[in-house]
Structure 1
Amino acid sequence: MAGVPQDSDDFRMVCPPVNKEDGRLPRKYTDEGQGTKCRMSPPIEWYNVPEGTKSLALVVEDIDAPDPNSPIVPWTIWVVAHIPPTLKGLPEEFSGKSQELGGEYENIVEGNNDDKVPGWRVPTMPSHGHRIEFRLYALDDEVHLGKTVTKERLQDAIQGHVIGEAAMIAVF
């Protein structure tokens, strides 16, 4: 289930606050809770980063987002690149604070979400039950993304460099 570490050697990720019974992302990380005021990103942890990883990248999407012109078009909530493979996760409220945290966090880049601003942004949901997919990529090289980082630019840049993927689903 989402949020529960498994006893395995597989590359995997978890979001500890996600409810272990139903996979729910707590309201404080959404536009309905405390998160609406401070854009609070949840803590994320990962385990067993593949050998040879030079960098990690994260994409978080609402994979059930409706679009007036199409039945379902994923909504990008968060794009994070240049994560050092020595890190074991991102702390709660990381979004917007990489410079403040300094150290290994300093060179991490947050890309634009579908609100066209960098950082964590859960969209206003017309209904509950949407699946939020967290996907972490282990890369064999540093990617060059230019000035404006987007999910599309990241996905283009990582082609041929992904040596492992870890994913989890939370429900909003």
Structure 2
Amino acid sequence: MASEEFRLVSPEINHQGRLPRKYTNEGQGAKKNISPRLEWYNVPEGTKSLALVVEDIDAPDPSGPIVPWTHWVVVNIPPTLKGLPEGFSGKEEEIGGDYAGIKEGNNDWKVPGWRGPKLPNHGHRFQFKLYALDDEMHLGNKVTKERLLEAIEGHVLGEAVLTAIF
């Protein structure tokens, strides 16, 4: 019997869970901030929109403890979509159609869209977390992870998590 669990996957993140170099800002084969393809399954009933937060959950703060570093924030993804195509970041208006209403928020570099990692050391875990929400988010022009997490409180119908290593 197939699992009915709300799931998030990326066909390019292989079975060892590695984030391919082409989605980073590092070394030969790296391209410029290409967002990975994502697919999701079994969106909870009653979902009105989806939101995505991608963080390096092992990022060290130079002055202290490990503090997650936000690489991508995406809000108001229609629940009728089954995923985001590779290279989606920065192109939602070009792609148009059902993608046109999607909004990318600012990452921790203070710019909208996907920013691939370039790390001083490897082995960091990148957490892709997709939230199924019972409403659309109206966060104004400046969407951030903090504003999103505050706004979705009490509106989360389900979460799907994908972790990749870089």
Q: TM-score range by the shorter chain?
A: over 0.9
Shift of 1:69: 1.7
In the aligned structure 2, how far is the partner of 1:37 from the partner of 1:28?
A: 5
Shift of 1:23: 0.8
The alignment partner of 1:38 has SS state of coil
Shift of 1:35: 7.6
The match for 2:59 is 65
Q: How much is the aligned-residue C-alpha RMSD, in angstroms?
A: 1.5
Determine if the alignment matches structure 1 residue 79 to structure 2 residue 39.
Answer: no
**Following TM superposition, where does structure 1 have runs of at least 4 consecutive aligned residues deviating by more than 2 angstroms?**
33-38
TM-score normalised to structure 1 length: 0.93
Determine if the alignment matches structure 1 residue 101 to structure 2 residue 125.
Answer: no
Cα deviation digits, residues 19-62 of structure 1 (max 9, x gap): 11x21010000111578542100000000000000000000000
The match for 1:47 is 41
> What is the percent sequence identity of the aligned residues?
70
In the aligned structure 2, how far is the partner of 1:36 from the partner of 1:25?
A: 11
Cα deviation digits, residues 51-87 of structure 1 (max 9, x gap): 0000000000000001112220000000000000000
One-letter identity of the residue aligned with 1:64:
D
One-letter identity of the residue aligned with 1:137:
Y
Shift of 1:138: 0.2
Q: Tell me, which stretches of 5 or more residues in structure 1 are unaligned? A: 1-5
In the aligned structure 2, how far is the partner of 1:98 from the partner of 1:42?
A: 14
In the aligned structure 2, how far is the partner of 1:48 from the partner of 1:143?
A: 21
Q: What is the aligned residue count? A: 166
The alignment partner of 2:80 has SS state of coil
In the aligned structure 2, how far is the partner of 1:33 from the partner of 1:41?
A: 17
One-letter identity of the residue aligned with 1:13:
L
The match for 2:147 is 153
TM-score normalised to structure 2 length: 0.96
Report if the CA contact (8 A) 1:60-1:77 is conserved.
Answer: yes
The alignment partner of 2:70 has SS state of strand
Q: Tell me, which stretches of 5 or more residues in structure 2 are unaligned? A: none
In the aligned structure 1, how far is the partner of 2:63 from the partner of 2:138?
A: 32
